[in-house]
Structure 1
Amino acid sequence: MRFGSKGHLRLAAPRLLAALVAGTALAGPAFADTVNVAIVGEADTFDPMMSTKDVVSIVTQHFLETLYTFDGSWAVAPLLAADMPEISEDGLTYTIRLRDGVTFHDGSAMDSADVVASLERWLAVASRGKGVADKVEAVEATDPLTVEIRMTEAYAPLLSLLAFSNSAAVIYPQETIAETMTDIVGTGPYRIVEHVPDQYLQLARFEDYASRSEPSDGGAGARTQAPDEIRFLPVPDANTRVEGLLSGQYHFADGLPAESYARIAETEGVEPMLLRPFGWPVFAINHKDGLLTDLTIRKALQAALPMDDMLYAAFGDDNFFVVDGPMYPEGWAWRSEAGTELYNQNDQAKAADLLAEAGYDGTPLRILTSRQYEFHFKMAEVAKMALEAAGFTVEMNVVDWATLGQQRNDPALWDIYITHSPFLPEPALTDLYAPTSRLGWSEPEKDAILARFTTETDEETRRELFGQLQEKLYEDVGFIKIGGFNALMGHAAGLEGVTATPWPFFWNVTLD
């Protein structure tokens, strides 16, 4: 399937196509301003409303934009909005003024009708949009460049949700909006030129892009369109990404294994990029269907897992991981120890007793994972041994990342899927807590705490409520944090201006 902007689609040059198919690096002045980026796999959609996968966020943020974004300190900043919103004293009405002169890739001008239609779709189809939809009374255009969002109750994380590039509230032209998006038209600094699935996605500079004028700061401020073109190459094998970076085939490579750090650091012409701390691996639990709808069996799962062994198998070097139960690392305002006595029990005998109490009949525990993030697979292997020692029958389903993204939407196909998340500035951005997420974790006391947490505006009270939410997470085994980890990326020494972020972007980079 080919995606492109209306009036801007062109075919890649034959030389480019031949080189991409052959997997070779490109040379010569015609391509001196093309940045080659190796990503962990195919972005299976270019509609980020429909996905929470990082690989989708990384790609789509270059051609689709939101009303707000995050600056380098993770504070919300305006992007397509002219400025921060005016919020009524009761916290129920947000008045958002839009930037004038913003142009879509099809040549049409962005106005409030496009924003209203896009936000209404986001509330209806995006996992994070659906999580707040019941609190939104209306989204209306009050003039061509002003949008009003009226809430039924105060909702503290709203601006963070509107700023996030993951399950994102991106703005489309009203005329292109459909249940399934087939015409991907945005306002971003780059536009889609050519897409060959599982081979490459070619983006070219959008010449009519309306950049902000403020200095670049994280995702905020000016987006300078420094490269002429950006090429995203799905490379599922982690070792292939490393070798391609070292050989000069890729200017940037994402999701590299920890054991490659020393080799990258010692090789002339390339540099490692370590994000410390980055995030947390998670065993996502199916609360909608199957074995783990039983709380006692969930407790047996939690009791059996050896977090330290799993993390060591995944990363091999304790410079890259920490065995840590709180949902946020040291130094973060959200950090709490509540409930963490249930973390890293590594007690297979206790788990066996819980399975007996539950009347476990040997039904296979189905773990869905992928090798494109090799550390996911390595954790699953260790978990399988510990769970079998406790008496579980374990069935591993190892698929590519795109297939995992599809299968996890069907609760009949899995009991656990393995994923990870960066540490996010607002806990409500982690949609796993919401009963509307694909996990379906809904428990009356937890849901009440979550509702109070999202409507409370006092930061100290919110921190206390998050501690209660974390405690409930451990007690009800909503999902399982394995620990904390640092993420490794790498780039060519001549690639300047790369921002260290979980979702790397390339509009401000220069290539020597």
Structure 2
Amino acid sequence: MLNRRTFLGSTAAVPFLSLPAVAQNRARVLRYVPGTNLTVLDPIFTPAAVTITHGYCVFDTLYGVDAQMKAVPQMAAGHSVSDDGLTWEITLRDGLKFHDGEPVRARDCAASLERWSKRDSFGQALGAATESFGFKDDKTIVIKLTRRFGRLLDAIGKPHSSPAMIMPERLAKTSPTVQVTEMVGSGPFRFVQGEYVSGSRMVYEKFADYVPRSEAPAWTSGGKVVHFDRLEWQVLPDPATAAAALQAGEVDWLATVLPDLVPTISRNRQLRLFRGDPYGVQSVLRFNHLLPPFDKVAVRQVVLRAVEQLPFIQSITARPEDGEVCRSLYPCGMPGVTEVGQGVMGTLDVEAAKRALAAAGYNGERIVILNPTDIATINAHSLLVGDLLQRIGMNVDMQSLDWGTVVQRRISKNPVERGGWSIACTNWPAISIDNPATNATTRGQGDSGWWGWFRDATTEELVQKWLSAASAEEANATFLAAQQRALEMVPSVPLGRTFSDGAMRADLQGALAGSVQMFWNVRRG
């Protein structure tokens, strides 16, 4: 197999993959390489970016967002709100149909919102203010609130982690703690279940009965017009292998490109780099709050103060402009975010951290770090975390796994002796964690929240206060208080914000900006 060193030293890639798509009509097949394997198909069950990318192929949402991040109708034709603000009616647009041939009904949407509201952090905030997700007739969804919730459309229209995707009622009735595996949505692509081979291949076909909106597409809104009959995902874990396949014309689009491969791709006129997400991603070290030693806030504070972000940024970016130190648990550059961690984060050297760790009550507990070796960025961060913790005196057990196994392992609440874990690194699109309600890395929901299960009543009170703020001034003050509380309690440790590129064949046109790759509007020029 062609390795990374061989690729970088060559001037041309030699075709080496045997993909079924190569023999097909190139004009009608779009061939894509995701950043990692697709192991979980249910976009409500996990916020993993590869699953959300898959989700937008198969499912649609009642509202999407435009280029200004404003919620606009998607499956919905529109909505009305009662004078007291407690009853919202959302009307479905005409022509909506599921992939099994059944029409989309309001009852499907109500059941989908109900399930989503038990899983997603913003959804849970909405659910706490909701009496019922119901319906009046086949075209009218009725949401009855117990108190005003002015950000309702922002919640059900948010673009990432996890969007409120609509599925048939029979699937939406699945417990939110159980994965849905039957993929029936109403989105622009139909998932070909019979051709799905985890770790190798995923296939989607254009859904002939999908009726796009008439508006121009932007982010997750507007007309989702598909110009290919088939979309084929090929899992190629080695980045150089994937880049060589792109250069050889055997695939059309790579989700990610390693920084040291960027110059080679840039020199090839048949290829171009593509930066879909202008807001970047925030990398995060996540603690398991249920197990020692990170059930102690003092121990978490030591790690926060010992982490210097610059090495983490430099491990995954080649150019200084592609990374940003951000001393906040919220992504810098987003409205209302302040670097409240100035003078706190990255202030302990190794010897000082050793002393602080002993004073914090660390007793030599084994620290299991889940390290996905098939995602270069997270792998680099996991190794850096492990090295730092070892140097400050922690008993580190680095467990190298594939990403799919990490996704499964990190939801385990078992002790480390029985398959549990202590730390896992990941990253989030900045747009998906930009306020107190959506930022799963800081929410204090305990068992019902993001893996790691941080529980803090004060944080949740601030979320509710922010959601119900009567003025912009009150909302801004509450947001600042939420940022300061996160710095104090350390539910996670931010590792910096970065911007990365994908790559595609130069003849592909129309790719849209978004927090994940979207395959409508793309055509071959």
Do they superpose with TM above 0.5? yes
Equivalent residue letter for 1:415: S
Distance 1:388 1:182 in 2: 40
| 2:505 paired residue number | 492
Distance 1:190 1:398 in 2: 34
Equivalent residue letter for 1:271: R
Cα deviation 1:131-187 (Å, max 9, x = unaligned): 543221111111221111122233344323312343232222223443453432111
User: How does 1:285-304 map onto structure 2 within 5 Å?
Assistant: 285-304=287-306
| 2:129 paired residue number | 135
Deviation at 1:233, TM superposition (A): 1.8
The secondary structure found in structure 1 opposite 2:214 is: coil
| 2:185 paired residue number | 186
| 1:44 paired residue number | 39
Cα deviation 1:10-40 (Å, max 9, x = unaligned): xxxxxxxxxx995447445634211101002
CA gap 1:241/1:150 in 2 versus in 1, 3 angstroms? same
CA gap 1:107/1:202 in 2 versus in 1, 3 angstroms? same
1:419 lines up with 2:426 in the alignment: yes
| 1:172 paired residue number | 167
Distance 1:415 1:452 in 2: 31
CA gap 1:488/1:224 in 2 versus in 1, 3 angstroms? same
Work out whether residues 328 and 487 of structure 2, in 8 Å CA contact, stay in contact via their aligned partners in 1. no
Equivalent residue letter for 2:187: G
1:390 lines up with 2:392 in the alignment: yes
Distance 1:433 1:196 in 2: 35
Distance 1:482 1:461 in 2: 29
User: How does 1:454-493 map onto structure 2 within 5 Å?
Assistant: 454-456=467-469, 458-493=471-506
Work out whether residues 114 and 173 of structure 1, in 8 Å CA contact, stay in contact via their aligned partners in 2. yes
Work out whether residues 280 and 485 of structure 1, in 8 Å CA contact, stay in contact via their aligned partners in 2. yes
Distance 1:89 1:337 in 2: 40
Work out whether residues 369 and 376 of structure 1, in 8 Å CA contact, stay in contact via their aligned partners in 2. yes
Distance 1:297 1:328 in 2: 21
| 2:144 paired residue number | 150
Cα deviation 1:359-405 (Å, max 9, x = unaligned): 32211222212123212221222222222221112121221111111
CA gap 1:182/1:422 in 2 versus in 1, 3 angstroms? closer
| 1:238 paired residue number | 239
Equivalent residue letter for 1:105: H
Work out whether residues 340 and 474 of structure 1, in 8 Å CA contact, stay in contact via their aligned partners in 2. no
Identity %: 24
Work out whether residues 326 and 339 of structure 2, in 8 Å CA contact, stay in contact via their aligned partners in 1. no
Work out whether residues 34 and 255 of structure 2, in 8 Å CA contact, stay in contact via their aligned partners in 1. yes
TM-score, with length taken from structure 2: 0.88
424, 436, 453: which one pairs with 1:440? Answer: 453
TM-score, with length taken from structure 1: 0.90
Deviates more, 1:423-432 or 1:388-397: 423-432
RMSD of equivalent CA atoms? 2.3
Deviation at 1:346, TM superposition (A): 4.4
Work out whether residues 58 and 503 of structure 1, in 8 Å CA contact, stay in contact via their aligned partners in 2. yes
Number of residue pairs matched by the alignment: 492
| 1:120 paired residue number | 114
Distance 2:16 2:247 in 1: 20
| 2:270 paired residue number | 269
Work out whether residues 269 and 494 of structure 1, in 8 Å CA contact, stay in contact via their aligned partners in 2. yes
Equivalent residue letter for 1:416: I
| 2:70 paired residue number | 75
Deviates more, 1:127-136 or 1:70-79: 127-136
1:430 lines up with 2:443 in the alignment: no
CA gap 1:26/1:230 in 2 versus in 1, 3 angstroms? closer
Deviates more, 1:121-130 or 1:91-100: 121-130
CA gap 1:431/1:91 in 2 versus in 1, 3 angstroms? farther
CA gap 1:237/1:204 in 2 versus in 1, 3 angstroms? same
The secondary structure found in structure 2 opposite 1:108 is: coil
CA gap 1:104/1:319 in 2 versus in 1, 3 angstroms? same
Work out whether residues 63 and 188 of structure 1, in 8 Å CA contact, stay in contact via their aligned partners in 2. yes
Work out whether residues 190 and 205 of structure 1, in 8 Å CA contact, stay in contact via their aligned partners in 2. yes
Work out whether residues 190 and 206 of structure 1, in 8 Å CA contact, stay in contact via their aligned partners in 2. yes
| Structure 1: stretches of 5+ with no match in the other structure | 1-19
Deviation at 1:261, TM superposition (A): 1.6
